[in-house]
Structure 1
């Protein structure tokens, strides 16, 4: 199931149960939102920028987009492309913001008012391609390269959330959004000067250091404080 993209209306109404019950095993839980665009900020954590050959402590955001076709839900498979295309696919655990109302030229002091809630994102990346190509579209844009979920949590502060990514139960990434070199309100304000933010849009806020290659058969889990775990399987 998917949450309505009309977040402004949803936020002003109480949930109403209609009495229908189904077994969890009988349903497929999809991504919690269907965005018009998936906006990504790169190198927002200095150590991750250094380990991937990027620029640490940016004065202005490094921006790229991922296609909506990359999105998969919690529990789904990350499908590795052919080795003819890429030989180094890595995970990047991130906090993702879900925009709740339309915004353009948003002021920093009002930026968090445009956030409906937070969820978890895995910015799966073909690292060899992002290092080779002049821009990130191919290395970031393969189908299944955008695990998202498992749900949206409202009413939490996105500027101070701990992130832990594990690969086969081994911790490989650990950080906190309070370590970002550019603040979340600034990122929202800045990107709204470039493009109009629409309800349901995803803003992936960047990844701490520790990104590493994944192989077929691996299990990757991204856990974010006060949200939960996003678990996916590599195939």
Structure 2
């Protein structure tokens, strides 16, 4: 399957094609895969993510899926790349990973059927839909700061075309230990359905990204942790967690909270209902 990677090559953003352990640009310049400075494989005008899609995640939260998918928006300023640093702001504690498959649009899509959606997809990449749950009480359901803060949307390492999304394994690892293990077959709505659903009222442009949902066991990570998301056939996206150099300002806006809602979401499910005290780190 062809794979394309955007890298910083001699100071310029450059599209390359992977050939074994090398990345080759259109003008013939070559850089080793391990030596490359990776950029997100797409330059989207928008990033749209589905709330719940994997059945294991639904069961974990002891809830049920709505009749149709619901979505939120991540600003493009949250984009990050393979091996990029994920910044947990000072005064925040609950930064969760969410390993996902990301859909990248290749042709303008508007008012298309699920059967037509595949013709409008350029390919797929690996994503990690990080959530800063300290702000979960303050965003009135928009998820703007929870999911849209800077650095919280790493994508990569490359864009893979001609990839069949059916029956593919998805795993997330923290410091080498598997913490999420799911399959695209547990998704209620597949990639084509998601694209067609959004395109009913929102034009999807080439480069736009849709995040397709995460399996169970999203949990918080700490500065110093290395988080990897591995999708069969798409490769492995690696990032590390760092602490932001300055704290979240306290002279304006809602402040980070540690409510039951925050704790419940961060550690998976309704902890108060279960009678289990959430672990603290």
Sort the TM-score into its range (normalised by shorter chain). Answer: 0.7 to 0.9
How far is the alpha carbon of 1:23 from its aligned partner?
5.9
Unaligned runs of 5+ in 2: 1-6, 8-12, 16-23, 243-281
**Contact 1:159 1:184 (8 Å CA) reproduced:** no
**Which one of the candidate residues 14, 32, 39 is aligned to 2:41?**
32
Query: Which structure has the bigger radius of gyration?
Result: 2
Is 1:232 the counterpart of 2:232 in the alignment?
Answer: no
**Of 161, 171, 181, which residue of structure 2 is paired with 1:174?**
181
Instruction: Determine if the alignment matches structure 1 residue 58 to structure 2 residue 66.
Output: yes
Do residues 139 (structure 1) and 146 (structure 2) align? yes
SS of the aligned residue for 1:97 comes to strand
Contact 2:170/2:232 (8 A) holds in 1: yes
Deviation at 1:21, TM superposition (A): 3.4
Kindly provide the CA deviation profile for residues 59-96 of structure 1, in whole angstroms up to 9, marking residues without a partner as x.
1111001011111110111010121xx32110000000
Query: Is the 1:44–1:58 Cα contact (8 Å) retained in structure 2?
Result: no
Contact (CA 8 Å) 1:58, 1:181: kept in 2 or not? no
Counterpart in the other structure of 1:93: 99
> Root-mean-square deviation (CA), in Å?
2.1
Partner of 1:81, secondary structure, is strand
Q: TM-score, normalised by structure 1?
A: 0.87
CA distance in 1, matches of 2:57, 2:136: 14
CA contact 1:58–1:182 (8 Å) conserved in 2: no
Which of 76, 87, 109 is the aligned partner of 1:79? 87
> After alignment, is 103-112 or 210-219 more displaced?
103-112
TM-score by length of 2: 0.73
Q: Which has the higher strand share?
A: 2
1:52 Cα deviation after fit: 5.2
Matched, 1:44 2:83: no
1:157 to partner: Cα distance:
1.1
Q: CA deviation at 1:3?
A: 6.5
Structure with more contact order per residue of length (Cα contacts < 8 Å, sep ≥ 6):
1
Q: Determine if the alignment matches structure 1 residue 155 to structure 2 residue 162.
A: yes
Q: Tell me, yes or no, if structure 1 residue 103 matches structure 2 residue 109.
A: yes
2:210 to 179, 203, 208: 203
Q: Distance in 1 between matches of 2:194 and 2:171?
A: 22
| Alignment of 1:112 onto 2:118 | yes
Find the aligned partners of 1:3 and 1:33 in 2 and give their Cα distance.
11
d(CA) in 2 for partners of 1:211, 1:23: 33
In structure 2, distance between residues paired with 1:114 and 1:151: 18
Distance 2:30 2:170 in 1: 33
Q: 1:162-212, CA deviations, whole angstroms, 9 ceiling, x for partnerless residues?
A: 100011111110111111122222211111012001000001100000101
